[in-house]
Structures are given as structure tokens and as C-alpha cells.
Amino acid sequence: METLPEVPQQLEPLIRQIGPALYELGQGFREDMRVPARIVADSELLQQMVHDRSVPQLVNVTTLPGIQGFAIGMPDMHEGYGFPVGGVAGTALPDGVISPGGIGFDINCGVRLLATGLRHEDVKEVLPEVAHDLARSIPTGFGRHGRLSLAPEQMDRVLTEGVPYLVDVLGLGAPEDVDYLEARGCLDGADTAKVSVRARERGHDQLGTLGGGNHFLEVQRVERVLDSEVAPALGLFEGQLTVLIHTGSRGLGHQVCTDAVRTMDRALAREGIQLVDRQLACAPLSSAEGQDYFAAMCAAANFAWANRQVLTHRVREVFRRWFGDRSAAWPRIVYDVAHNIAKLEPHGGQRLCVHRKGATRAFGPGHPELPAAYHQVGQPVFIPGSMGTASFVLVGKEAAEAISLSSACHGAGRRLSRAASKRQVVGSELRAALNRQGIAVECPSNAELAEEAPLAYKDVDRVVDVVEAAGIARKVARLVPLAVLKG
């Protein structure tokens, strides 16, 4: 067992390594812990975590009523609202709690990978112009409005039916698209009556918008295939032109979370729940507050999948303009997976409400929710880097269920706050540096560019190595950026 150096004195005797790249902080650390806290990391990443607020936040998660097994932090873990970003926990049904802080304000923020049959070498001369066309076609930035305005009855159908409604009724996609989306792009538990008027107002014209912050659209090249057996099953090859989309439920999801936190905060005394952190506001899933939030969360999740579907449609329109109708130019969906969501799943013989906050599913081969094409290889997992760094495609392993409730990280994870990043980076200089690397940048704000600078994030190669070493997922391909679109 590895002894962790330079850990704060009160943690050092209690953190122990229990497996490859897997550490545990036992219940002896605090008497209110109901289960241990686990962390997927190597020693360097672990030291970063124990010196910020993410480990104490993870410990707080272990105190939630109904939590089972452990609370676990992914290698990209960093401070968040309530739960740390990169935190995962499962609570037992029916009376274990659901906590909006364990899902996040951007409900079903997620990542979708599109792959073409085009080779970068054949189209590289026009890519800067393609990137500019994408920027003109896709609204970015906080509060921006899309080009698809929905009537109230159409919004209801998006919230309840998700992507199938867009494809089958509005014609925004191909029938096979839904086969390659987590939950086929629709959670069944949605109830539009539980979505507030204010949430609807904030989201009614935001379908097909990217948003700001760390949301992005990247045109990428498959630099290297790392698993020659799995990559063909995913339709990936070296030199291939791909597109990675990262966004979520925009203002609608944010308002759903805000509404629920306020409602649950008022219900805590009635439910006899005492919290160590008010940001962990929660309610039993069986309660009226728990059921109402879950129904609204499902609706927001459906909105997010619909948002990424409209963005996919816009990408396809741009590619058609530049590369024609040939089949090789069609950006097909490799997969779409959420990383801010709660799902009802069986684990260890129990039915759990699994909170994934900045964490993605990582189901292994044979799982019944996988598309038939991926049944033998496992669920695709996407771990993006940051501007100028690589992104990775992996597939989940069966061992992930016992290790992490079938969960993996969702990115490299922040190392610096946005304010700290802006103090260290000049946006215009970063833009010029990326251009020198051959990366076209479409972002109207140098300040927001500086917030998302590569130095603000952990080393994505190290993070992905840890995920693989822990036995959660296996690496399939490494992708590098060619053009970046940000708010």
C-alpha cells in the first residue's frame, strides 16, 4: 500500500490505498460519516484534492440519509456546490434522499461525439472557414437565444419526449440518432407540471445554443487509436475528422435546480434532516419534494438532450454546405452521455438513486442499456481536455460497477478558479498561441477565453491514465483540437 506524502495531519493516518489508483478515507475520520469516502487518483492528484475543499465536500456527502456503500470522487474532482464536481453517490430507494447539489445546476450537462468519414488531411485548408461558419450558425455565450422558438405545446413535448420528438415530428435528425444517446435521449419520469413558469421562460428559446463557461464545440482529429479492437466498433480511425459538443440544459435546468434547493431547504425540519452544509439541501425521493424535483430534473434532462440534438443538426447543415451530401461528410453520432444527472439504477442487489455530479456513466460490455453495436465493447466514455489539449474516448469496464457505481470522470477537472486563471492568462495572448498551434478559435470574449485556459485544468493525460489504472474504463482513442467554438 502506498503511503501518501504531505497530506494534512488530520487526514494522513486515515487515507489508505485500497486498490490500483483507489484510496479510501474511513468513517473514523468523522463520527457523522455513514459510509467511507473513496477517491480515484494517483498520489499527485490526491495531494491536489486534499489541499482544496473537494475532499471535505466529499466527506459531507457521506452523511446524507440513505447513502449506500461509499461516496466516491473521480480524478477530476474539485470544489462544487454541495457535492464536489466529480462526486458520485447512490442512495437507497424508496426513502434515501435526492439532492440537487449532487446533480448540479446545469442538469444533464453532457458530451456528444460526432464522427465523419472525412480525413483531416483532405479538408484542412478550409477548416478555419468551416469553424467560422459554425460560429455564425450556433449562438454562444450566457443568456444567448437560439434560432428555434417553441410554442408552449411544443416545449411540453420536448420536456416529456426529448430527442425522439425532435427527430420524429420536427425532422431534426435521423431515426438512428436515438440509438446512440444515453436513455435514448429521453427520461420517462418527466412531468412538465413540475417545471416552473420561470424555468420555461428561461429555456423557451435556448434550444440549439451552446452557452458560456466551460461549454464548447470542438472540431477534432483522431490523432491516435489506442485500442485497435474497440475503435472499429465505434467507427473511429486515425486522421478522422470529428466534432465534440459539450453543453446542457441552459437556463431552464439552472432554474429547476434553484427552485428545488429552495423548496427542499424549507422541508428539512419536517423530514428531520440535519445537514452539515446547507448546499446539500435534499429530501427523501419518496417525499413530495423529492418526487417533484425528480420529475422536473427528468424534464430538464430531456431538454438538454434536445439542445445537443439541435446543435448536431446545425453542425450537419454546416458540413453539408462545405462538404456536400456525400455519406463521408455526414457527422453521425458515436454516443451522447450525461454528466450532471440522477438515475435510478440497480447496483449490488439494490435499487439506488445514483447522483453523478460532473461524472459520467461507464457501463461495461453486455449492459442492457447499451446500443446493440456496442454490446461487446462497452459504453463509450468521453473525457475532454481543455483548449489546446487532447480529449479521449474510452469504453466502460464491468469492474466499474463495484469500483465506482459504473461511473467515470467527465473531464480533466479544474486546477485554478476562473478568477485565478484570468489573473495568470491574457486572453488575446492565449488566442494567438492557439492559432500558432494550428487551432482556430471562435470566441468573442478574450476574458472568457482566459477563464478556460489549459493551465486552469489538470493534466488530462494523467487523469485518463488514472481512470484506466483503476479499472473503470479502457482507452480507445486520443483526439486533438483543430478548431474551438466557445461562448
Active site residues: 410
User: Rounded to 10 degrees, what is the CA torsion of 406, 381, 44, 433?
Assistant: -160
User: Is 386 among the annotated ligand-binding positions?
Assistant: yes
User: Is 412 among the annotated ligand-binding positions?
Assistant: yes
| Cis peptide preceding 100, ω within 30 of 0 | no
User: Is 444 among the annotated ligand-binding positions?
Assistant: no
User: Is 228 among the annotated ligand-binding positions?
Assistant: no
User: Is 218 among the annotated ligand-binding positions?
Assistant: yes
User: Is 340 among the annotated ligand-binding positions?
Assistant: yes
User: Is 1 among the annotated ligand-binding positions?
Assistant: no
Which of the 8 DSSP states describes residue 4? P
User: Is 51 among the annotated ligand-binding positions?
Assistant: no
Question: Which of left, alpha, beta for 88 (phi over 0: left; psi -120 to 50: alpha)?
Answer: beta
- The distance of Cα 369 from the centroid of its chain, to the nearest Å, equals 18
CA distance 293 to 283: 9
User: Is 413 among the annotated ligand-binding positions?
Assistant: yes
Parallel, antiparallel, or unpaired for β 67-78 and 340-347? Answer: unpaired
Beta bridge partners of 243: 114, 219
| The three cell numbers locating residue 81 | 456546490
User: Is 214 among the annotated ligand-binding positions?
Assistant: yes
User: Is 411 among the annotated ligand-binding positions?
Assistant: yes
User: Is 429 among the annotated ligand-binding positions?
Assistant: no
User: Is 391 among the annotated ligand-binding positions?
Assistant: yes
Beta bridge partners of 220: 242, 481
User: Rounded to 10 degrees, what is the CA torsion of 245, 246, 251, 253?
Assistant: 110
Task: Identify which of 273, 240, 479, 276 has the alpha carbon closest to the alpha carbon of residue 380.
Answer: 479
User: Is 363 among the annotated ligand-binding positions?
Assistant: no
User: Is 120 among the annotated ligand-binding positions?
Assistant: no
| Strand, coil or helix: 405 | coil
**For the chain, how long is the longest CA-to-CA vector?**
64
Backbone angles phi, psi at 76, to 5 degrees: -95, 10
Cβ neighbours for 375, distance < 8 A, ≥ 6 positions apart: 365, 366
Binding residues for GMP: 214-218, 339-340, 384-387, 391, 410-413, 486
Q: Annotated binding site, which residues?
A: 106, 214-218, 246, 339-340, 384-387, 391, 410-413, 486
Annotated binding site for Mn(2+), which residues?
A: 106, 215, 246, 339
